[in-house]
Structure 1
Amino acid sequence: MQKYIIGIDTGGTFTDAVLLEQATGRIIASAKKATTHQQLAIGTGEALAALLETAQITPENISSLTVSSTLATNSVVENKGARVALLIIGYVRHFRLPVKAVIYIKGGHTITGDEEEPLDLDYLVEIVNGLKNEVDAYGVCSAMSIKNPTHELVAEKAISMIDPKPVFCSHRTSDVAGMKERAATAGLHAKLMPIMQEYLAGIKEAMRTLGLTCPISIVSGNGSTISSDKAVEFAGSTVASGPACTAHFGALQTREDALVIDVGGTTTDIAMIKDGAPILAAEGCQIGGWRTHVEAVDMVTGGIGGDSHVMVDTKGSISLGPGRVMPLAMSRNTPDIASWLGTGEKAKLIVGRPEKLAGQDHEVADCLLRLGPTTLHGIKAATGLAGVPLEKTLEQMANLQHIYECGFTPTDALHVLGRIDIGDAAAARLGAEILGAAAGLDAEEFSRSIIAKAEEKIENLIIDYLIQHYWGNSLAGFLNARNDHPVLGVNFSLKIPLIGIGAAARHLLPAVAERLGTSISFPDNCEVGNAIGAAMIGATNLNC
C-alpha cells in the first residue's frame, strides 16, 4: 500500500498543507486555508480535510505528519506570548531583552565552576513574590552555569515553591558561553511554551476529527524534527521552524548560491543557500530583538508582510508594521469601516473572542462582550480606563489571543490596485479612501505608496541580513533612513539570485529584485513552499 506524508505550515494568515508520496517525493496535492487564530484546529482541520478530499487518500495511508509554523516567529516579532521574568544571577554587564522584567541577583560561578558569590536567596524570594501575579513564566540564567548549574537549580526550586509556573534554566537550553544569548534562549522557551501548547493541541484535535492516527513531528530551527512533547517543553527551538522549511524548499531549486525570500502575512523570512544547501548560523539565530543560542539555519526574520498594519498620523505621515492586523478585505462581521477607521486611536478595530472573554472578571472583557468590536477610543469611553493600565491590559489580552485587531494592510492595497482578488475589495477600497484622504492621496496613490513602502522594507531587510552575515554588524538604522537623507544616496546590488516563496511573494518581490539588480524565480507550488519543505524534511527523517 502506497504511503504518504503530510506537511503543514501554519502562518499568520494562511495554513498550508501538502501531500507527498513517501517513496518518490512527488507532490500529490496541496491546500490553502485561512489561519483561524481564535481556534487553530478549525483552519488546520479545513486544510487537512481539503487535502485528503482532493487526493482521495484515506487516513490509514498517511505514515506521518510534519509541522512547520511561523506562529512562534511571529509571536516574537509582534512581542506576543507569555509574560516572562528573567532572573540573571552573577556580576554581568546589564542588558535588555523584550520581556516583562530582567532582574539581577547576586551569585554565580567562576570559569572553573567555583562559587564566586553565594546566591542571594532572600532577594530572589522577595522578587518572585512581587512578580508572581505579573508573569506567566520564568527564565533563569546564572554566570558560568555551563560549568556549574547549582545556582540555577536552587533558584528553580525556590521559584517553584512560591509560584508553580514554568521555569526555564539556561544550562538546559544552551551550553555555549554568552550570558545575554543564554538568557535570551531560556526566556524564549518560556515565552513561547503556551503558544506551542495551544497550537499542537489544535492540530491534534483536527487530526482526531479526521481519523488521522499517524505520528506527528515538528520542524525545529535547524531543520531536524522533534516530537510534539519536546516542542512544547523546548518551544524556543521551533522559533525558526518556518525559515528552516523556507531554506529547504529553496535548496530544492538550485545547486548554486541564492537567497530564499518568504513573504508571509506577518513576516518576511530570508535564508541563505550555499552551493545548493541551507547553512546553519554559526552562533545561533536572531529573531527580532532576540539574539539566541537556538541552533537554526542562517536566516533573518523581519516584521513586514502582507498583513502589516498601515497607520496614518494626524499630520498625514504613513507608517507600516511591524505589528500585524487582520486586513479589511479579509475581515467579516465587523462594523462599517467608515464608522471607526481613521488616524490616531481609530487606526484599528479591537475585536474580542467571546469564547475567550466569557467568564473573565475584567471590565475590558465585559466592555468587548457588551459592545462588540470597537476602537481604543471606544474602550476608553466605556470603561474610563486610559494610559498605561489600559495598554498593559490590551497587550496581555493580545498575548493570550483573547483579542485580535483589524486595520488597513498591504493585502488591502493589493486589492485596491486589482493585483489580487481573495477578499472584499470594496472594504479595502473604502479603507484606502479614508486613510488616503488623511495623507492627501487618492485610494490608488495611497495603495501604491503602501506597496512601495513594503518593497523598500523587504529590500532593506535583505541588505542588512547580508551585511550582518559577512561583516557581523547591522546597519538597520542607516538603511531605514537612507532614502530620506538630503545629500547622500546609497544603492546596493546583489550578485546572487532570489528565490521567492509565500502568498505575497509574486506581488512584492519582482520590484525588490529589480531595485537590487538581480533576478528572481518563483518555483512551482511556491505559494505553499514551507509546507513542501516540512514534508520533505519529514520524509528525509522518516527514510533515514
Structure 2
Amino acid sequence: MLLGLDVGGTFTDAVIIDGHRVVASAKKRTTKDNLMQGIGEALDAVLDSCDTSNIEQVTLSTTVVTNTIVEEKEQVVDLYVVTGPGRNVDDIFPVTPIYLQGYTDHRGIVVERTSTDAVRDIAKMVQSRSGTDLAAVSAKFGVRNPQEELSITEVLQETYNIISNGSLLSGSLNFPRRTISAYFNSAVTPVFTIFKQHVEDALRGRNIVAPLHILKADGGSLPMEHMVSRPVETAFTGPAATVLGLSALGAIGDEHTVALDIGGTTTDISLWKHGKPLMTKNGVSIREYPSAVRSFAVTSVGIGGESVVRIADGNLAVGPERIGPSTALGGNEPTLGDALIVLGHASYGKAELATQSLQHLADVLQAKWKEDECGDILGDHNSENQYASNISVLDVAQLIVDKALETIQRGIDEVVQAENKRPVYVVADIVNPDIFVPAQIVVVGGTAPSLGPSIGEYLNLPVTIPENAAVANAIGAALALSTIELTVHVDTKRRLLVIPELGIKQQTCTLKRAEQVIDRAKEALAEEALRLGLDKTQEVEVISIEDFPVVEGWRSMERLITVKVQLEAGVKHYVE
C-alpha cells in the first residue's frame, strides 16, 4: 500500500492506495500556524482501518517551502559569486552578493583562480556583520568546471553550517538562475529541516516505518533524507501533485486539454498536449526571480471554493482573497462556496447560514439599485424584468458564480495565448505548428463537483470530473515516480568530463561521440539511482543533446558535447 499526503493552502488531503484502488481518503483543514496538526488529522482519518505495517512508502507534497518564500520568511543568506568579467549583477539577486575574484571560461578553463586565503578572510568579515550561518556559492560557468565552487565551499565550511552550490543544484548554463536557486535553497533549509523532523515524528508515532519521500516541482519524488540538501526543489509541489494526480486518474487523453485544480483558495491551470503536460522553458520563478528549478507550467488564479465575496464601490467582487471558511461552515464572510450551496450545486455545512449571508449581499445590492435608480446591476440575471424591484438570493448566487467563471475563463485565455506566442526554435514546429486550441476541460480539486459542470457550460466545452477528483493531489503524490536529472559535459580536446550535479570532474575522458556520452550519462544516472535506493528498472529519458564542433585553424577536429538525462517522470500506474 502507498500513502500520499498533499498539504494545500486550504486543505490537507491523504489517501491510501492498494494496487489500483483508493481504499481510504480524507480531506482536513490545513492548520497554517501548526501544519502538523492538519497533517496528523488527515493521517488519523485514513489510518483508522489500515494496518500500518502494510504501507510500503509515504510520499508528501507540502506548501512549507512555498509559504516560506511567498511570505518572505526565509533566513538571511550570505551570497558569494564568482562572475569574472561582465556586467554588474547587483540588481538581479534578492540580496547584494559578495564578489570573489576569479574566473572560469565557457570551456571550463580556470583563467584566474580564487584565492582560498582571501575567501577565508572575506567570509569572517561578512559573517561577523550578518550573523547568519547560511551561505550560497555560485560561479559563472561553474557547470563546465565545478572546481572553484567546491574549493570555495570547502573554505566557507569553516564559517557557515549550511552552504548551497549553484552547479550542484543545476547542470544547465544560466548563471543567474543557478545563483537564485542556490540562494533560496540555503534560505529555506532551516525550516525544511524542522518540518522533516516533525513529519518523521508524526509517522513514527503512528507506527509507520515505511520510506518517506517528498515531491519535487518537476513531478518526481525523492527520499526526504536526500532532499535536505536541495529543499528549494520542493517549492511549488502543489501544481506538480495536481499534474500527477490528473495522470493517475487517466482523464486527459490525447486532445488539447485544459486541466483545472479548484481548491479552497486558487484555481491552478495547466495545459496538456497529446496527453503530456507542458513544462516551464527554463525554470520556475521564485517570487520575481527566475530560478533553475524545473517545474510544470501551471498558472494560478485567485478563485477557489472559499474565495470571499464582497461589495466594493457598488460592485460585487469574488476573490482573490480567502478570509476563512464559508459561512455555511461557520465563517464570517460569504464565499463562492456559499453561492454554490444556495444554487444546489453543493451540499455541505448549514444551507440556512449560506442563504443568510447572501441575503445580506442582496439587501446591499438592492439599496444600491434604489440609490442609482437603475436595474442594470444584475445584467442578464433577472431576464423577466431587468428593472425588478427585488433582487433575490438566487440572483446574487448566480451572479457570484458567473463572476468566478469570468475570472477562470480570463485565466485560461491568458495561459493559452501565452503558450501560442512562445518562441519557436525547431524547424519542424515552424512547418507544422501545433497551435493550442482547447478541446476539453478536466476538473479536479475539492470544488470540482460543484463548479465543474458550470465551467463546461460557460466555456462551451466538454468537461470531465474523474472519480476521486477531490483528492487528486494526494493520489498524484502517492503514485509519483522517483526522478533525478544529471548533466554530462564532455570537451573532447581537453579530454574533460564534468557531471556538475555530482561535483565530478575527470581529466582523462576518452569519449568522442554523442552516443558515447549518452551511454556514460545513463550509466552515471543508474549509479546515482542505486546510491539513493531508487527503482533501477525505471526508464531513462534523454532530455537534450548538444553537440558543437570546436573549430581551430579552419578545421573541426574536436567537439563540445552536453547530454541531459533523467529517470522518466510520471506515475507508477493509473487508479481505477
TM-score normalised to the size of structure 1? 0.67
Out of 468, 472, 481, the residue aligned to residue 525 of structure 1 is: 468
**Quick one: structure 1 residues 46 and 468, their matched pair in 2 at CA, closer, same or farther if it must change by over 3 Å?**
same
**Alignment partner, residue 498 of structure 1:** 441
Distance 1:292 1:323 in 2: 27
For structure 1, the residue ranges without an aligned partner over 5 or more in a row are 338-406, 474-491
Distance 1:98 1:453 in 2: 38
**Alignment partner, residue 210 of structure 1:** 206
**Alignment partner, residue 283 of structure 2:** 284
Contact 1:416 1:428 in 2 (8 A): yes
The structural deviation recorded for 1:200 is 3.1
The structural deviation recorded for 1:226 is 0.4
Distance 2:126 2:358 in 1: 47
**Alignment partner, residue 326 of structure 1:** 324
Out of 411, 427, 435, the residue aligned to residue 461 of structure 1 is: 411
Matching residue's letter, 2:25: S
The structural deviation recorded for 1:523 is 0.4
User: Which protein has the bigger helix share?
Assistant: 1
Distance 2:266 2:190 in 1: 21
Q: Where does 1:69-468 land on structure 2 (aligned, <5 Å)? A: 69-82=62-75, 86-90=79-83, 91-92=86-87, 94=89, 99=94, 101-103=95-97, 105=99, 107=101, 108-113=103-108, 114-115=110-111, 128-132=127-131, 137-149=134-146, 152-153=149-150, 156=153, 161=158, 164=160, 166-251=162-247, 252-257=250-255, 258-286=257-285, 289-302=288-301, 304-307=303-306, 325-327=323-325, 329=327, 410-411=336-337, 420=346, 422=348, 426=353, 433=360, 451-468=401-418
Q: Equivalent residue of 2:188, what SS?
A: helix
**Quick one: structure 1 residues 518 and 228, their matched pair in 2 at CA, closer, same or farther if it must change by over 3 Å?**
same
**Alignment partner, residue 13 of structure 1:** 10
**Alignment partner, residue 34 of structure 2:** 39
Is residue 57 of structure 1 aligned with residue 7 of structure 2?
no
Contact 2:219 2:237 in 1 (8 A): yes
The structural deviation recorded for 1:178 is 1.8
**Quick one: structure 1 residues 535 and 504, their matched pair in 2 at CA, closer, same or farther if it must change by over 3 Å?**
same
Contact 1:312 1:318 in 2 (8 A): yes
**Quick one: structure 1 residues 424 and 149, their matched pair in 2 at CA, closer, same or farther if it must change by over 3 Å?**
farther
When Rg is computed on C-alpha atoms for both structures, the one with the higher figure is 2
The structural deviation recorded for 1:81 is 4.2
Matching residue's letter, 2:414: D
**Quick one: structure 1 residues 237 and 124, their matched pair in 2 at CA, closer, same or farther if it must change by over 3 Å?**
same
Distance 2:319 2:123 in 1: 38
Matching residue's letter, 1:52: L
Matching residue's letter, 1:294: V
Contact 1:15 1:35 in 2 (8 A): yes
Contact 1:328 1:428 in 2 (8 A): no
**Alignment partner, residue 486 of structure 2:** none
Matching residue's letter, 1:66: T
**Quick one: structure 1 residues 203 and 173, their matched pair in 2 at CA, closer, same or farther if it must change by over 3 Å?**
same
**Quick one: structure 1 residues 447 and 35, their matched pair in 2 at CA, closer, same or farther if it must change by over 3 Å?**
same
**Quick one: structure 1 residues 462 and 434, their matched pair in 2 at CA, closer, same or farther if it must change by over 3 Å?**
closer
The structural deviation recorded for 1:440 is 5.4
Distance 1:116 1:330 in 2: 67
**Quick one: structure 1 residues 525 and 125, their matched pair in 2 at CA, closer, same or farther if it must change by over 3 Å?**
same
Out of 21, 35, 55, the residue aligned to residue 26 of structure 1 is: 21
Contact 1:105 1:123 in 2 (8 A): no
Contact 1:65 1:538 in 2 (8 A): no
**Quick one: structure 1 residues 460 and 64, their matched pair in 2 at CA, closer, same or farther if it must change by over 3 Å?**
same
**Quick one: structure 1 residues 79 and 256, their matched pair in 2 at CA, closer, same or farther if it must change by over 3 Å?**
farther
Contact 1:303 1:322 in 2 (8 A): yes
The structural deviation recorded for 1:437 is 5.4
The structural deviation recorded for 1:9 is 1.3
The structural deviation recorded for 1:29 is 1.9
Distance 2:299 2:237 in 1: 12
The structural deviation recorded for 1:244 is 2.4
Q: Equivalent residue of 2:461, what SS?
A: coil
The structural deviation recorded for 1:237 is 1.5
Distance 2:97 2:392 in 1: 49
Q: Equivalent residue of 1:459, what SS?
A: helix
Contact 2:217 2:293 in 1 (8 A): yes
**Quick one: structure 1 residues 62 and 131, their matched pair in 2 at CA, closer, same or farther if it must change by over 3 Å?**
same
Task: Tell me how many residue pairs correspond in the alignment.
Answer: 442
Matching residue's letter, 1:455: L
Matching residue's letter, 2:466: P
Matching residue's letter, 1:463: D
Matching residue's letter, 2:272: I
Distance 2:7 2:155 in 1: 37
More deviation, 137-146/153-162:
153-162
Percent identity over the alignment is 27
For structure 2, the residue ranges without an aligned partner over 5 or more in a row are 370-390, 424-434, 484-533, 539-576
**Quick one: structure 1 residues 236 and 312, their matched pair in 2 at CA, closer, same or farther if it must change by over 3 Å?**
farther
